[in-house]
């Protein structure tokens, strides 16, 4: 009982100063547990909800204060080997590059870096991510055995990737020509009647969370391969959720991804409107327009487990969606193993050929 009171007082202090990512009972650094969504103390096993840890970014008075707080709390690292730029909160020590396992260099506090609006916290634990990678990749006979060694799988790192997400209210219209053809026979004559219809469709379409990666680097395909994320899991951005994880620095502004968002809206609305036109032998689309009525954009951090693996001097990277567990990545091919299966395929073909040969001889 007394313990509780003490914790509560401490918590009040933390609330006044800022967010405390130290254990409120023993002062050890806390870790975020994706499974329970609680902050856990590895030293004394205490668990804390986010609310208990004190002030949230949103509690700060204005944008300027929030920006200052964010800049002070986030550190930037650079990898001299592969050029990766990585962000981490001040409680997280970063020594090795997520992408190439080489040591990284501390560059300083971030300055004027874009502050995220939303975040989806990790839900898949590191152990689950390792299990997902194992299960998905074991069925590829070509993967080198040492990939599955604990020491390698343990390099899997939690990284928050920057995305631009747009909610857009639109009015979409489509005009088309529908053709229907009737044929019939009368006596020894055959008649064809072709009718043309002008078709017009107009609909208000709301697009929710159109997500486009805010990176122009090579990671783009990898990161978009693990989409989508559950819409309802977005929460207002909070530095506390970065504890123990890294974040990738964005290098694309919203205006840079605008054409990609427009293209997505065009594709979706084209399909939606076209699907409502039926009953014709042929449909020709004459025009399709989108008018944006209202738009809201969010800079969002989305959780991904990343594992890089070097094989034959080439780096392979795998990604696991930190919320849904969906996996994506390129597959390293073991020459030894591929050699064997190549031989066995050749052998199978040879055997097959002999069998056919045998049959026809
Ligand atoms: Zn503790
Ligand atoms: Zn690197």
Give 198-221 pLDDT, tens digit per residue. Answer: 999 999 999 988 888 888 866 777
| CA gap 107, 105 in Å, rounded | 6
The residues near 15 (Cβ < 8 Å, ≥ 6 apart) are: 54, 55
Give residue-wise pLDDT tens across range 45-68.
999 998 888 766 666 667 777 788
Q: Quick one: which ligand is closest to 10's CA?
A: 1
| pLDDT confidence of residue 316 | 84
Is the Cβ–Cβ distance between 304 and 161 less than 8 Å? yes
Ligand 1 geometric centre to CA of 234 (Å): 29
Ligand 1 geometric centre to CA of 133 (Å): 32
Say which DSSP state 242 is in: G
Give residue-wise pLDDT tens across range 218-252.
677 788 889 889 888 999 998 889 888 999 888 88
Percentage with pLDDT > 70 across the chain:
83
Q: Quick one: which ligand is closest to 31's CA?
A: 1
| pLDDT confidence of residue 98 | 85
The residues near 20 (Cβ < 8 Å, ≥ 6 apart) are: 14, 53, 54
Is the Cβ–Cβ distance between 39 and 33 less than 8 Å? yes
Nearest CA among 24, 79, 78 for reference residue 51: 24
Is the Cβ–Cβ distance between 164 and 214 less than 8 Å? yes
Ligand 1 geometric centre to CA of 182 (Å): 80
Q: Quick one: which ligand is closest to 30's CA?
A: 1
Cis peptide before 228 (omega within 30 of 0): yes
Q: Quick one: which ligand is closest to 25's CA?
A: 1
**β 314-321/282-311 pair status:** antiparallel
Mean pLDDT of the residues in the chain: 82
Give residue-wise pLDDT tens across range 28-49.
888 899 999 999 998 999 999 9
CB atoms within 10 A of CB 354: 11
| pLDDT confidence of residue 361 | 35
| CA gap 288, 259 in Å, rounded | 17
Is the Cβ–Cβ distance between 165 and 209 less than 8 Å? yes
Residue 85 confidence class, pLDDT cut points 50, 70, 90: confident
| pLDDT confidence of residue 306 | 92
For ion ligand 1, residues whose CB falls within 5 Å = 23, 25-26, 28, 41, 43-44, 46
Ligand 1 geometric centre to CA of 125 (Å): 21
* Domain map (residue ranges) of the chain: 337-361
Is the Cβ–Cβ distance between 157 and 306 less than 8 Å? yes
Q: Quick one: which ligand is closest to 103's CA?
A: 2
Q: Which pair of structure tokens corresponds to residue 65?
A: 């204060």
The pLDDT of residue 357 is above 80:
no
| pLDDT confidence of residue 69 | 80
Ligand 1 geometric centre to CA of 29 (Å): 8
Ligand 1 geometric centre to CA of 77 (Å): 28
Ligand 1 geometric centre to CA of 155 (Å): 26
| pLDDT confidence of residue 254 | 92
Give residue-wise pLDDT tens across range 126-162.
999 999 999 888 877 677 888 888 888 888 999 999 9
- Which helix (DSSP H) or strand (DSSP E) does residue 68 occupy? helix 63-73
| pLDDT confidence of residue 7 | 37
Residues 15-31: what's their mean pLDDT? 73
Ligand 1 geometric centre to CA of 32 (Å): 13
| CA gap 150, 357 in Å, rounded | 49
Nearest CA among 181, 224, 240 for reference residue 38: 240
């Amino acid at each position: 009982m007394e313990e509780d009171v003490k914790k509560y007082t401490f918590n009040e202090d933390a609330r006044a100063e800022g967010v405390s990512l130290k254990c409120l009972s023993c002062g050890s650094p806390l870790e975020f547990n994706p499974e329970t969504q609680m902050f856990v103390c590895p030293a004394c096993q205490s668990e804390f909800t986010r609310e208990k840890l004190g002030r949230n970014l949103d509690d700060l008075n204005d944008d300027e204060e929030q920006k200052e707080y964010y800049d002070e709390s986030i550190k930037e690292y650079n990898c001299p080997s592969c050029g990766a730029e990585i962000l981490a909160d001040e409680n997280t020590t970063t020594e090795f590059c997520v992408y190439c396992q080489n040591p990284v260099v501390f560059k300083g506090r971030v300055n004027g870096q874009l502050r995220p609006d939303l975040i989806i916290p990790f839900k898949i634990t590191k152990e689950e991510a390792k299990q997902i990678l194992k299960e998905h990749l074991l069925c590829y006979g070509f993967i080198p055995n040492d990939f599955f060694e604990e020491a390698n799988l343990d390099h899997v790192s939690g990284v928050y990737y920057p995305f631009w997400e747009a909610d857009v209210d639109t009015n979409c219209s489509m005009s088309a020509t529908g053709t229907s053809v009737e044929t019939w026979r009368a006596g020894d004559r055959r008649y064809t009647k072709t009718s043309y219809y002008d078709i017009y469709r107009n609909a208000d379409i709301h697009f929710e969370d159109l997500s486009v990666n805010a990176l122009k680097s090579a990671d783009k395909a990898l990161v978009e391969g693990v989409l989508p994320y559950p819409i309802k899991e977005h929460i207002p951005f909070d530095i506390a959720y970065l504890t123990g994880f890294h974040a990738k620095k964005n290098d694309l502004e919203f205006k840079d991804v605008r054409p990609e968002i427009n293209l997505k809206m065009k594709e979706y609305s084209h399909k939606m409107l076209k699907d409502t036109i039926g009953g014709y032998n042929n449909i020709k689309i004459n025009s399709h327009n989108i008018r944006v009525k209202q738009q809201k954009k969010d800079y969002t951090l989305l959780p991904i487990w990343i594992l890089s693996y070097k094989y034959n001097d080439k780096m392979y990277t795998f990604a696991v969606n930190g919320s849904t567990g969906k996996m994506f990545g390129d597959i390293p091919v073991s020459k030894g193993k591929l050699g064997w299966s190549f031989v066995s395929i050749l052998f199978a073909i040879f055997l097959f050929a002999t069998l056919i040969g045998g049959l026809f001889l």
